[in-house]
Structure 1
Amino acid sequence: MAPLPSPPAQPDDTPGAYVGLTVDAAGERARRHGWTTVRSLPPGAIITMEFRAGRINFEVDEAVVTRCWVG
């Protein structure tokens, strides 16, 4: 049996620090901190729930991040 792969390490970052930033500033900060995928979504968007290492998600209302989570 093949060994289970280990997921890559996530960037050492605090998702809550993005709340209140503009979407542009949050995207720039996320890329500087090593996130490979930055996803911005409107409030209440229907999304898939698969976990993606290296992805940070922003819920954005009127160009401001209101919620942030990884995966």
Structure 2
Amino acid sequence: MAPIPKPSAEPQDSPDTYVGLDADAAERRARERGWSTVRALPPGAIITMEYRVGRLNFEVRDGRVARAWKG
């Protein structure tokens, strides 16, 4: 029988530190800190609500991160 996959650990990084940053700079920083997926979304975007370990979401307004959350 195959081993049960073990999810990778999330970076010990607070999403709040990205709010206010330029969206491109925030994405670079997130990847440098170990986030495997970074998703930039416009305000009010319709998205799925499943939680993905290692994903960081940004709501981007006028080129800046207005909100950031894990999953």
Q: Same fold (TM over 0.5)?
A: yes
Q: Find the aligned partners of 1:35 and 1:26 in 2 and give their Cα distance.
A: 11
1:29 aligned partner = 29
1:10 aligned partner = 10
Identity across aligned pairs (percent)? Answer: 62
What do the CA deviations read for 1:26-60 (whole angstroms, capped 9, x no partner)?
00100010001000000010000001111000000
For 2:30, give the aligned amino acid.
A
Query: What is the TM-score normalised by the length of structure 1?
Result: 0.89
Q: Find the aligned partners of 1:32 and 1:7 in 2 and give their Cα distance.
A: 19
For 1:39, give the aligned amino acid.
R
Which ranges in structure 1 are unaligned for 5 or more consecutive residues? none
Question: Structure 1 segments of 4 or more deviating over 6 A?
Answer: none
Which ranges in structure 2 are unaligned for 5 or more consecutive residues? none
Query: What is the TM-score normalised by the length of structure 2?
Result: 0.89
